[in-house]
């Protein structure tokens, strides 16, 4: 295909080749759930085709994806009662503003209200209900007719086989796989000898059409609209006149799943500025969602506005998809590196042919563990689908198996620890050096001294190496026994730097238990879990004495994690003993320990947070803090909230009790105002938790 330096199609031949490539990609995706192009590549291809057609309208080919629903997907044999259209796209705030102006010119007035909702990354379907019973499931197809996939009824969560009322209607929505369903589906597929799906979207598309499988794969449905069918009676006029937002409420009331109960619940707003705030809110939550989204859908909410705006042959003129930057791309797996973590865990890392994803160049991706490589059947040289959302570490979803050439090679697994050459414990999915923490003593000590653990200023990795090489420390407990003369004998350690380091170590000795426990680096626990454990048990001796059953009383600790924590604490007993001997603080200020087994709880002690200023409250912090809170990091703010009896959260929802809004609070403040959430300025919040400020400042 010939293009110029700007990527524009250069001539008729290049245009024809682009149309053919888009046709093949759409056919592969809509028939088998597979495509050699990722979303971003397909979007760019179609935009290039559209640009060429605008300049050369006399050359438009019938096979062109422009002007067609779903890019020209193959039609089925089930006609739609009302065309099932696609959406046009915008890619920036400027393009969105231009589009809204065109809608308002078309209807001759301002749009009364806008609905803002997530654009779910799945497959559009129509679910037809006859007198409350799910009768038929049809894909979108080419928009005029779709494929009957009623065999999938019963495998789709959120799409009940019977409604809460005997209504006759068609519910339209998206079938997708959550990340958990995707992982489970690939496990089942590989166990039955099939290649894993490349990503959740392809998984949903392929699974929906599959018949007579020897195994069952679940998917999830989210409704985005509904319309009346013949025999609907009074419901016909009702659905035709209801605002879009109320249609969603109606189908949710019948028991159909919508996005209303998710972190990205649809919202109704009245201004373009509020729409943009909603777009930013949903985009910010993208990385935390259990399902994929590739944009935000904005619709005119009122039925009258929709009717007056009308529809084209491919898309309605009253709705638009505000596309987000791509978070997945196809690239090649070049190699696998094996790195050893601070606890001796041996973790594989994929070396990739560099690819641009979500505004950054990705050259590496996580692979979790050796079993993950085997399960996904990854091979060196494979084309792989790489996924990245927000700022999380990119990861490989699966190989694109149909692009294999036969030249791919198996991944070589290490036979000994790549760090120290010791034996590898392969008894669990995550392999570990038999020397454990001793394999990576520098990494372990550096982690313990970090800002979110003991916060020992002046103790960077270079200084830790110096201390280890000099034989002064073998673990981070030895830091608390260092003497001034020992430090002064080291290179580049003058009196000032020595005294500053000793002062920082002395301050670390008084850190709360939650930070000390976090510094231990217990597998399966991090900052927030360490705080929960410390708040629950109140002292290190109670944590160490706890069995797996007692640990399961901590929020977020299940049976398997509890057993692993108990085992690891047994391994860490000598280190904990050294910390106690060094008079490191082993208690959590303000925490109330659980009652002894068999003992009657004290009155009012059912909840350890009872009586604290934030008891029972979920608190979100946003914007720049001022006053007494100005120097606190976000982790310190979270500690402060939990010490005062509350629960910290990163997103505003109906469950939020309080938003602490600093300067430039932005969209979270707007959402809190919409939901009626209490908002406090930093100064007001500092006064509320004044008693708990000193320990974390």
Say how far apart CA 86 and CA 140 lie, in whole Å: 9
Within 8 A by CB and 6+ apart from 109, the residues are none
Residue pair 78/280 in contact (Cβ under 8 Å)? The answer is no
Residue pair 321/88 in contact (Cβ under 8 Å)? The answer is yes
- Please give the torsion angle defined by the CA atoms of residues 606, 607, 610 and 613, in that order, rounded to the nearest 10 degrees: 180
Residue with the bigger pLDDT between 416 and 66: it is 416
Paired tokens of 475: 């673990």
Mean pLDDT of the chain: 85
For residue 67, what pLDDT is reported? 62
3-class secondary structure per residue, 305-360: HHHHHCECCCCECCEEEEECCCCEEEEEEEEEEEEECCCCEEEEEEEEEEEEECCE
Least-confidence region, from 77-86, 598-607, 613-622: 598-607
Q: Which residue has the tokens 């759930």?
A: 33
Q: Please, which pLDDT band fits residue 443 given cuts at 50, 70 and 90? A: confident
Measured in degrees and rounded to the nearest 5, phi and psi for residue 548 equal -60, -40
Mapped onto helix, strand or coil, the DSSP state of residue 389 is coil
Q: What is the pLDDT of residues 358-415, one digit of tens each?
A: 667 888 888 888 988 888 889 999 998 887 754 456 888 778 777 788 899 999 999 9
Task: Decide if pLDDT at 149 tops 80.
Answer: yes
Task: Decide if pLDDT at 689 tops 50.
Answer: yes
DSSP 8-state secondary structure symbol assigned to residue 611: T
Angle of helix 12-32 relative to helix 39-55, nearest 10 degrees, comes to 140
Q: Which residues is 172 bridged to in the sheet?
A: 126, 225
Task: Decide if pLDDT at 653 tops 60.
Answer: yes
Tell me if residue 664 is catalytic.
no
Mapped onto helix, strand or coil, the DSSP state of residue 476 is helix
Say how far apart CA 208 and CA 159 lie, in whole Å: 13
Measured in degrees and rounded to the nearest 5, phi and psi for residue 467 equal -65, -40
Measured in degrees and rounded to the nearest 5, phi and psi for residue 691 equal -65, -25
For residue 31, what pLDDT is reported? 54
Least-confidence region, from 119-128, 496-505, 663-672: 663-672
- Considering the chain, what percentage of its residues have pLDDT values greater than 70? 91
Task: Report the candidate in 344, 363, 33 with the shortest Cα–Cα distance to residue 206.
Answer: 33
Q: What share of the chain is helix, strand, coil (3-state, %, to 5)?
A: 40, 20, 40
Cβ burial of 694 (10 Å; 0-12, 13-18, 19+) is exposed
Secondary structure element (H or E) that encloses residue 220, with its range: strand 219-228
For residue 12, what pLDDT is reported? 84
Say how far apart CA 216 and CA 207 lie, in whole Å: 9
Measured in degrees and rounded to the nearest 5, phi and psi for residue 185 equal -65, -45
- Please name each of the domains of the chain with its CATH number: 12-66 (1.10.287.610), 78-323 (3.30.470.30), 328-425 (2.40.50.140), 436-508 (1.10.150.20), 618-696 (3.40.50.10190)
Residue with the bigger pLDDT between 380 and 43: it is 380
For residue 75, what pLDDT is reported? 57
Within 8 A by CB and 6+ apart from 477, the residues are 575, 578, 579, 582, 584
For residue 604, what pLDDT is reported? 42
For residue 516, what pLDDT is reported? 95
Is the pTM for the entire model greater than 0.85? no
Residue with the bigger pLDDT between 263 and 375: it is 263
Count CB atoms within 10 A of the CB of residue 316: 18
Paired tokens of 565: 């924590």
Residue pair 434/490 in contact (Cβ under 8 Å)? The answer is no
Residue pair 256/159 in contact (Cβ under 8 Å)? The answer is yes
Task: Report the candidate in 146, 143, 10 with the shortest Cα–Cα distance to residue 67.
Answer: 143
For residue 524, what pLDDT is reported? 75
Measured in degrees and rounded to the nearest 5, phi and psi for residue 644 equal -90, 10
Secondary structure element (H or E) that encloses residue 273, with its range: helix 272-285
Paired tokens of 376: 């996904």
Residue pair 396/384 in contact (Cβ under 8 Å)? The answer is yes
Within 8 A by CB and 6+ apart from 41, the residues are 329, 330
End-to-end CA distance of the chain: 61
Residue ranges of alpha helices (H) inside 391-494 are 441-448, 461-469, 484-488
Residue pair 178/247 in contact (Cβ under 8 Å)? The answer is no
For residue 420, what pLDDT is reported? 73
The size of the chain, in residues, is 697
Task: Decide if pLDDT at 600 tops 60.
Answer: no
Residue pair 397/199 in contact (Cβ under 8 Å)? The answer is yes
Mapped onto helix, strand or coil, the DSSP state of residue 34 is coil
Q: What is the pLDDT of residues 580-596, one digit of tens each?
A: 999 999 998 877 777 66
Say how far apart CA 350 and CA 364 lie, in whole Å: 5
Task: Decide if pLDDT at 277 tops 60.
Answer: yes
> Cα separations (Å) of 458 from 463, 499, 500, 696?
8, 11, 8, 19
Say how far apart CA 244 and CA 236 lie, in whole Å: 14
Catalytic residue among 119, 388, 668, 671: 119
Mean pLDDT for the stretch of residues 648-664: 86
Residue pair 121/109 in contact (Cβ under 8 Å)? The answer is no
Task: Decide if pLDDT at 474 tops 80.
Answer: yes
Q: Please, which pLDDT band fits residue 616 given cuts at 50, 70 and 90? A: confident
Say how far apart CA 529 and CA 524 lie, in whole Å: 9
Cβ burial of 214 (10 Å; 0-12, 13-18, 19+) is exposed
Say how far apart CA 514 and CA 537 lie, in whole Å: 10
Residue pair 588/540 in contact (Cβ under 8 Å)? The answer is no
Residue pair 565/522 in contact (Cβ under 8 Å)? The answer is yes
Strand ranges inside 245-290, DSSP E: 267-269
């Amino acid at each position: 295909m010939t293009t110029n330096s700007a990527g524009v199609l250069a001539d008729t031949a290049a245009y024809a080749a682009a149309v053919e490539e888009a046709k093949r990609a759409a056919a592969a995706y809509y028939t088998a759930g597979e495509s050699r192009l990722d979303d971003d590549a397909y979007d760019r291809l179609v935009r290039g085709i559209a640009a060429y057609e605008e300049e050369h309208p006399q050359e438009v080919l019938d096979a062109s994806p422009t002007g067609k629903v779903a890019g020209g997907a193959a039609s089925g044999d089930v006609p739609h009662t009302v065309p099932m259209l696609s959406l046009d796209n915008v890619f920036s705030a400027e393009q969105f503003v231009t589009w809204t102006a065109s809608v308002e010119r078309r209807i001759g007035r301002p749009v009364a209200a806008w609905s803002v909702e997530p654009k779910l990354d799945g497959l559009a379907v129509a679910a037809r209900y006859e007198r409350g019973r799910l009768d038929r499931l049809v894909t979108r197809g080419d928009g005029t007719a779709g494929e009957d996939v009623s065999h999938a009824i019963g495998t789709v969560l959120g799409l009940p086989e019977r409604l809460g009322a005997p209504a006759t209607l068609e519910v339209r929505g998206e079938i997708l796989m959550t990340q958990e369903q995707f992982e489970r589906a690939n496990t089942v597929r590989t166990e039955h000898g099939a290649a894993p799906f490349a990503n959740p979207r392809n998984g949903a598309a392929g699974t929906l059409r599959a018949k007579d499988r020897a195994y069952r794969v679940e998917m999830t449905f989210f409704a985005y609209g509904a319309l009346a069918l013949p025999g609907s009676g009074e419901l016909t006029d009702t659905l035709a006149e209801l605002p879009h937002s109320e249609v969603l409420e109606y189908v949710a009331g019948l028991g159909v799943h919508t996005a209303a109960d998710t972190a990205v619940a649809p919202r109704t707003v009245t201004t373009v500025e509020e729409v943009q705030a909603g777009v930013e809110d949903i985009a910010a939550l993208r990385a935390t969602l259990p399902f994929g989204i590739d944009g935000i859908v904005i619709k005119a909410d009122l039925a009258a506005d929709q009717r007056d705006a009308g529809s084209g042959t491919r898309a309605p003129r009253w709705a638009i998809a505000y596309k987000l930057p791509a978070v997945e791309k196809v690239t090649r797996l070049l190699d696998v590196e094996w790195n050893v973590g601070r606890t001796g865990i041996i973790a594989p890392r994929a070396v990739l042919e560099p690819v641009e994803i979500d505004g950054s160049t990705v050259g590496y991706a996580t692979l979790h563990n050796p079993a993950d490589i085997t399960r996904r059947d990854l091979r060196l040289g494979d084309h792989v689908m790489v996924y990245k959302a927000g700022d999380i570490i990119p990861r490989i979803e699966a190989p694109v198996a149909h692009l294999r050439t036969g030249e791919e090679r198996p991944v070589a697994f290490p036979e000994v620890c790549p760090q120290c050459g010791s034996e590898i414990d392969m008894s669990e999915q995550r392999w570990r050096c038999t020397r454990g923490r001793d394999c990576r003593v520098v990494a372990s000590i550096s982690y313990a001294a970090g800002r979110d653990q003991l916060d020992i200023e002046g103790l960077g990795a270079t200084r830790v190496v110096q201390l280890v090489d000099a034989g002064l420390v073998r673990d981070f407990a030895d830091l608390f026994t260092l003497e001034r003369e020992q430090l002064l004998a080291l290179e580049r350690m003058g009196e000032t730097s020595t005294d500053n380091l000793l002062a920082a170590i002395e301050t670390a000795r008084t850190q709360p238990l939650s930070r000390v426990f976090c510094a231990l680096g217990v597998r399966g626990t991090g900052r927030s879990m360490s705080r929960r454990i410390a708040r629950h048990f109140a002292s290190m001796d109670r944590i160490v004495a706890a069995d797996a059953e007692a640990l399961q009383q901590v929020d977020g600790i299940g049976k398997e994690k509890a057993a692993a924590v108990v085992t690891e604490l047994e391994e860490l007993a000598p280190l904990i003993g050294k910390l106690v001997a060094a008079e490191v603080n082993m208690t959590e200020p303000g925490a109330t320990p659980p009652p002894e087994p068999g003992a009657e709880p004290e009155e009012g002690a059912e909840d350890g947070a009872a009586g604290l200023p934030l008891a029972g409250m979920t608190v979100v912090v946003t914007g720049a803090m001022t006053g007494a809170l100005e120097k606190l990091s976000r982790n310190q703010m979270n500690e402060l909230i939990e010490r005062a009896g509350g629960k910290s959260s990163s997103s505003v929802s109906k469950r939020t009790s309080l938003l602490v809004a600093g300067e430039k609070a932005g969209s979270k403040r707007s959402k809190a105002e919409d939901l009626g959430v209490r908002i406090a300025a930093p100064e007001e919040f500092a006064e509320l938790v004044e008693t708990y400020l000193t320990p974390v400042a």
